[in-house]
Structure 1
Amino acid sequence: MTTINPHQFFDLSREDPDSLTHFRSVLNDGQLFRYVEGDRESANTLIERHLAAYLHQEAAVAVANGTVGLRLALRAIGVEPGDRVLVSAYSFIACAMAIAAVGAVPVPLDMDTALTVDTAALESPGGPVAAVMIVHVQGHAVPVGRIRALCDQLGVPLIEDACQGLGARSSDGLAGQLADVAVTSFQQSKQIASGEGGLVAGSAEVVERVYRMADLGAVRHGGGLPDWDDERAIVGDNLRMTEMQAALVMDQADALEDTLARQRRHRVHLREAIGSDVPVLDSDMPEGDAGSHILFEALSESDAKDFCAALASRNVLARTVWKKTYLDYGLFRRNEPSGLFSDARPKKAIALAPRILSVPTSKYLTDSAVAAMAEAIVLNRHHLASER
């Protein structure tokens, strides 16, 4: 049996040290705060400009992490306590938590398929809606064209959580491209990783609000000096990204297309190796996926656990993406406004969540690792649903 080093899935140490030019520059001059003194342009500023252009947005601001980015985005577009925000039920708990953190109410959007959203709640909202948050899953872009059109009809802003979807493309375009506000993350398992860190992109007006909220409410003048006497200053928080994080992000942003190409190549080779008898969950445009993960549907929750355990015994990483919807965690059950979800529980998301499995196809994988992964998946295909 071929063995795999688990670190092949996410291992930044495999990067060529000579490629980390921005990171080495920060280390060399010792300027670790985003407001750099001297001639070097801030790495924070570089990634903001670079990723705003990449996401087809007017401006961007780096923040401490993706969850913070979602929370600040909600505040920046005017979401207030008591407002209802529609959010993908099949998503990481941080999405609904960001909504709750600003005092708003997360209202679940059910799944249509494993990688698309049921738009019924948007077509007939059943109450006022302040915003909509769509979540891209494990490098697979959700087509948001129809959702964008419905948001426009309702006159509400669309937030795209592209934390797991940077670089992914659906038939409607790049993840984050059609949003009023796009949020991404640089946490360990993302296409670009600095351990933590995030970015909010959108209009110049919205980004300026986020910038100020994340920078202790200050107005920054020439030289980056804060001014809290300026009438535009607000009560804010310290949610900035460090220069070391930003520099590491910028080095990887420069190589993002190469990262995506390598991930997509591994994913194609893995699919070829497992053959057509092993069903895979696909987006509407598989060739546009970021290639970071391949998804499967287990027959049952116990089959999902057995599949992951069997692959782990062969040093192959497989995980249930999200074991339950956010509203099935005790945290939300205890704090649910009475009866809010009783008539609109996301039945398909609740049923599917514990059965959707993910195997990463990181750019760091070797050909032999891909072959070993395929062998493990084929040997345990009896745990997988036969229909895509």
Structure 2
Amino acid sequence: MEFETLRIDDAPVDEDLQDAGAVGPELAHLSGVYRRSPRALAWHRPSPDWRLFLLLPPLASRLSLIANPIFAQLTRAWGLNVRFVGVDRDGLAYDFRNLLSDRTLRLLVELLDAGLADDPAMLDTLFASLAGEMLTLLERRHCGWGRHLDVEHRLEPGLPATLFARDTRHPDFLSMLRSALRDDLIDAHFYGRALRSIDTRELDAERRIATLVQRCLDPDTTSRLLDTGAGLHLGCYNWLLLGGRHAPARAHVLRRLPWLATFLAESLVPADAALLSPGAEDWDDGTAGAGDAAAEVDAPPRPPQARTLDLRAIAARSASAHSLHWTGVLRRAIDAGQDRHVIEALAQRFAVGDNLIRRLWREAPAALGQPPTWHLRQVLRQLDALPERDWPRSDAHWRALLARAVPAEAH
């Protein structure tokens, strides 16, 4: 097992940002935290079953407050922005956010507070926690791994649903930087210089992390995914990898309908995972990992827990009998390589005309992007209601259509 810490590079602006006499003590402190905080903690081959564990912590600018037991809820709220990705020995990518326990989050806070590079003992403690609460739990629930397959994230920085969400990574630092500009502690030129430095260094770190993950993925599947034009969507990658001999047929559909990438991943990966992991429904959803790992291992299997209210799934109508039926038909049509039946199944799934799907199949407008599943239904219905001569003809028209098609559940 090898451990690696990925940080941002130093920049000339750091010295000015940490000058308390020039920018104020609060901004100077947050600038130091921003520069020293790791962007990712990577464990290479933590066990024979896993190629990579990758943990992406947000900027911990209030560690002293978060670490106080009185504010345990703050630790959990901070932990909601942690990303924990795993790649198994077969190359499948997983999202393990739901399995991060309170104890692991507390250890992570303590480790960051102590200074990662200066305290290797804390690093050993954190990995022991991850090993005890993740590897043991996953080994016991081997049949339930499929429910944690990543269907959401992308490896490209700056895109929707990217693995690197900057808005939740360092909000305090950016807020203090804006406050310093309003209070005339810094001028507009210095503010712009700081923002450019942040963008450049964050982008470089994100690319290094993405490369690290990509090296652990199956190269043939990654190449096939890139050829489709859908980008490095981990959900679509898992879908192609799970396809086996059906992967070429799946890649063909994804190449013709790249705007469906998110829908295909969210709808069809769970179906494949259920076939690969029979009996997974006998386990809970993994959120019980917040307790003691040892007690979890010794405890008998528990019945499934009640699902939380998911407005995105409600807006997508993904759990209705109609949607489930036509999603199954779509899956079989794709794997059979029957384009006509794929088009018909999609039209039925979204309750739109076949001709709409045929036109999108032929044209695949890039400006449509890859709407999330909860948004896609309304987008297609808006398009279906338009005469062909009134279809969007520019990127601005497509953006206006996407803005109008937000479902009521999102308001």
Bin for the TM-score computed over the shorter chain: under 0.3
Higher relative contact order (CA 8 A, sep 6+): 1
Structure richer in strand, relative to its length: 1
Higher helix share: 2
TM-score by length of 1: 0.27
TM-score (norm 2): 0.26
